[in-house]
Amino acid sequence: MRYIALLRGINVGGNTMIKMSELKAVFEQLGLENVATYINSGNIAFDSKAVPEASLVISIQEAISKAFGRDISTMVREREDIERILASNPFTGQYESHKEMHVLFLKEEMPADKQQQLLAAVYPPERLEVKGREIYCHLPMGVADSLLGKRYIEQKLKVVYTGRNWRTVEKLALL
């Protein structure tokens, strides 16, 4: 089965610098096959026998911690999940550039009370929609001035996630 691992905060802003070649080797040492990385920000595709995503997350996080001495939040999705995410974009045709669209990959589904709190904090023209373990973000004014840029989700709601722009999500489906 093909999986995609999404690591949070890898090689962003000069923090948590890890070479993709070294990260790929860690995945291979775990017995994962056909390991491929995409850009330098913690996107890794691999094949594995069908196992619960939570088991993969634990194995990957432990291996990264052992190899690099860092605790890195990791989200795992089946490749079919990425295809579903692409097909389920609630804002398709409603934005001018892929740069306006982002997807936040959550470790687990966001509780209803936090979803309500999040949606109440959104100011137009920013739009968010929570679907399962993902949050679709249409950010026409960019990330910096959005709830993402203000770190609202992680600091106020205490929700673990990693974000990817729409073009990256499209590329993940091809890995």
The predicted structure's pLDDT at residue 71: 92
Is 90 exceeded by the pLDDT of residue 158?
yes
Asked if residue 77 and residue 9 are part of one domain, the reply reads yes
For residue 37, give its domain range: 2-81
CATH value at residue 151: 3.30.70
The residue out of 81, 108, 130 marking a domain boundary is: 81
- The number of residues in the chain equals 175
Q: What is the pLDDT of residues 52-106, one digit of tens each?
A: 999 999 999 999 999 999 999 999 999 999 999 999 999 999 988 889 999 999 9
Does 39 fall in a domain?
yes
Asked if residue 58 and residue 97 are part of one domain, the reply reads no
Instruction: Report, as an integer, the average pLDDT of 11-28.
Output: 83
Does 134 fall in a domain?
yes
Q: What is the pLDDT of residues 132-145, one digit of tens each?
A: 999 999 999 988 88
The predicted structure's pLDDT at residue 13: 59
Give the torsion through C-alpha atoms of 128, 9, 158, 141, to 10 deg: -30
Asked if residue 146 and residue 102 are part of one domain, the reply reads yes
**pTM assigned to the model:** 0.94
Query: How sure is the predictor about 155, in pLDDT bands with cuts at 50, 70 and 90?
Result: very high
The residue out of 50, 81, 112 marking a domain boundary is: 81
Q: What is the pLDDT of residues 33-51, one digit of tens each?
A: 999 999 888 999 999 999 9
Is 90 exceeded by the pLDDT of residue 11?
no
The predicted structure's pLDDT at residue 148: 84
Q: What is the pLDDT of residues 60-72, one digit of tens each?
A: 999 999 999 999 9
Asked if residue 97 and residue 26 are part of one domain, the reply reads no
Does 45 fall in a domain?
yes
Does 49 fall in a domain?
yes
In the predicted model, what is the mean pLDDT of the chain?
93
Half-sphere exposure of 12 (CA within 13 A, CB side): 11
The predicted structure's pLDDT at residue 16: 73
Asked if residue 35 and residue 15 are part of one domain, the reply reads yes
Does 86 fall in a domain?
no
The predicted structure's pLDDT at residue 79: 95
The predicted structure's pLDDT at residue 9: 80
Does 18 fall in a domain?
yes
Q: Express as a percent the part of the chain with pLDDT over 70.
A: 97
